[in-house]
Structure 1
Amino acid sequence: MKFEKKGGGKLTADKIAVKKVSEQVEERIKRMIQSGMFKEGEKLPSVRELCEMFEVGRSAVRDAMTTLKGKGILQVKQGEGAYIRAFDTESFFTTQLMLPDTKDIRELFQARKMIEPGLAGMAAEKRTVEDVCILESFLSQEVMANWEADYEFHMKIARITGNMILVKLMAFIAASTRKAMIDVHQHIQSRDEISNLVMEQHNRIFKSIQSSDATAAKENMISHLEFVEKVLVNNVLQS
């Protein structure tokens, strides 16, 4: 909130924004769904019934339903009404995509540090010969000079686990931090000693997955992410 003193010394502040009625209706409907009052596949009360329930006008209810439809929470069938959609990870991660600030980027990277070591350990236990060959293809200096290859190396590890919720969560984090991580990658590639160190870290992660050593895979991934985080914090987020 922004505070200012006017000429006479009076302290003023930005007005607190009041939520639109439609936004309040949207939140009420979401809470009712989350509480289990409405189940997946169940038909929502009609617009008229919702107007009476919330004591609001039809336009507020219609606007709220349009927003919930856009977020993938409701499915509107022409001539029938609105139904509660089953949870869809694809639409959830798409509609919740962030335009993060510095604090968000730090927290998203912290989430990576919590998730990726577990993925690496699981990948070491589940990998196939084909998985190992694909992972190895991302390890050359020429290939790793490309940010997309670095991204695909980490995403391939996630995909090996077969857990699509975690794969989509990783893709969501990567998409939300894309600009910052491209800057990190450019900084790494501009310095041979850092670039070589990251290559060694990727190789250690690869070898531990190749040898099905889940413990080493977790430890090597943690070390790698902690190093990249230092580059991110000291050279990208500070600028």
Structure 2
Amino acid sequence: MNSEAASQKVYIEIVKKIRKMIDEDGLKPGDKIPSERELSERLQVGRSSVREALRAIELLGLIETRRGEGTFLRDSRGNQMVQIISTFILQDQKVVKDLKGTIQYIEMDGLRAVLQRNNDEQIHQFRHNVETMEITDDEFFLKIIELTDNHLLYRIWVILNEFYCSLDLKKETSSKSAYIILLDALLDGDEQEVLEKYKKLRKLL
């Protein structure tokens, strides 16, 4: 097993142990969970690993950190999306491949939604910004999802992408010209062309 895979396995195991500890201690929404130091000692793992595990759990909306007070368990029972994602991500060892594919499906749905909204003026402005400034892949697709004006889709993409980034995997990058070509396809309004340009950008063709 290489070092990256070993690190990932330890990380996932810590997350599972924290969830098990919360259940065993009978903690309820609003209760304070042990500090990083206490968790590190109790689980006998490094504090940096505990910190990354807590960050992932917080991104899923299951805990919240209050400055000067500590970390508290949140009530996520009313949020079906968080329940589904947390169960899937935190318990499935083959999550990385599935996670990447799910993010891509959401991005394609986002592109379809942008087409339906017919907001050419915003796309033109975004195209100009891409031409004149440096932009990362995350920044580009975050803006695409914002253009859908769908808060739930936006929230799902952010949660999954943040979790993917927390795994410290190599992120895909594309040239500025590839982003502009995709935006031009959006302006043309042809869904098939948009999806084709997206798949080419993501090297799915």
Matched residue, 2:117 = 126
Deviations along 1:67-90, one digit per CA (max 9) or x if unpaired, are: 68823236xxxxxxxxxxx4386x
Deviations along 1:152-176, one digit per CA (max 9) or x if unpaired, are: 2111211222221111111112211
* Match runs of 1:135-150 below 5 Å: 135-140=126-131, 142-144=133-135, 147=136, 150=137
Matched residue, 1:163 = 150
Unmatched segments (≥5 aa) in structure 2: 1-16, 32-61, 63-71
Q: Check whether the contact 2:29–2:74 (CA below 8 A) recurs between aligned residues.
A: no
* Paired letter, 1:214: E
Unmatched segments (≥5 aa) in structure 1: 1-16, 25-58, 75-85, 189-194, 231-239
Quote the offset at 1:141 in angstroms: 7.3
* Paired letter, 2:158: A
1:87 corresponds, among 79, 90, 101, to 79
Matched residue, 2:7 = none
Q: Are 2:76 and 1:73 aligned?
A: yes
* Paired letter, 1:139: V
Give me the identity figure in percent: 14
Q: Check whether the contact 1:209–1:217 (CA below 8 A) recurs between aligned residues.
A: yes
Moved more, 135-144 or 150-159: 135-144
2:193 corresponds, among 209, 213, 216, to 216
Q: Equivalents in 2 of 1:22, 1:105: separation in Å?
A: 25
Q: Equivalents in 1 of 2:131, 2:92: separation in Å?
A: 33
1:177 corresponds, among 151, 164, 168, to 164
Is the partner of 1:140 in helix, strand or coil? helix
TM-score, normalised relative to structure 2: 0.54
Quote the offset at 1:139 in angstroms: 2.4
Residues 20 and 135 (structure 1 numbering): CA distance in 2 closer, same or farther, change over 3 Å?
closer
* Paired letter, 2:74: K
* Paired letter, 1:203: I
Q: Check whether the contact 2:111–2:194 (CA below 8 A) recurs between aligned residues.
A: yes
C-alpha RMSD over aligned residues? 4.1
Quote the offset at 1:202 in angstroms: 1.3
Residues 72 and 142 (structure 1 numbering): CA distance in 2 closer, same or farther, change over 3 Å?
same
Matched residue, 1:4 = none
Is the partner of 1:107 in helix, strand or coil? helix
Residues 173 and 141 (structure 1 numbering): CA distance in 2 closer, same or farther, change over 3 Å?
farther
Q: Equivalents in 2 of 1:104, 1:137: separation in Å?
A: 36
Residues 103 and 138 (structure 1 numbering): CA distance in 2 closer, same or farther, change over 3 Å?
farther
Q: Equivalents in 2 of 1:142, 1:154: separation in Å?
A: 15
| Paired positions, count | 147
Residues 137 and 174 (structure 1 numbering): CA distance in 2 closer, same or farther, change over 3 Å?
farther
Quote the offset at 1:125 in angstroms: 2.5
Q: Check whether the contact 2:111–2:144 (CA below 8 A) recurs between aligned residues.
A: yes
* Match runs of 1:193-232 below 5 Å: 198-226=175-203
Matched residue, 1:23 = 23
* Paired letter, 2:163: S
Quote the offset at 1:101 in angstroms: 10
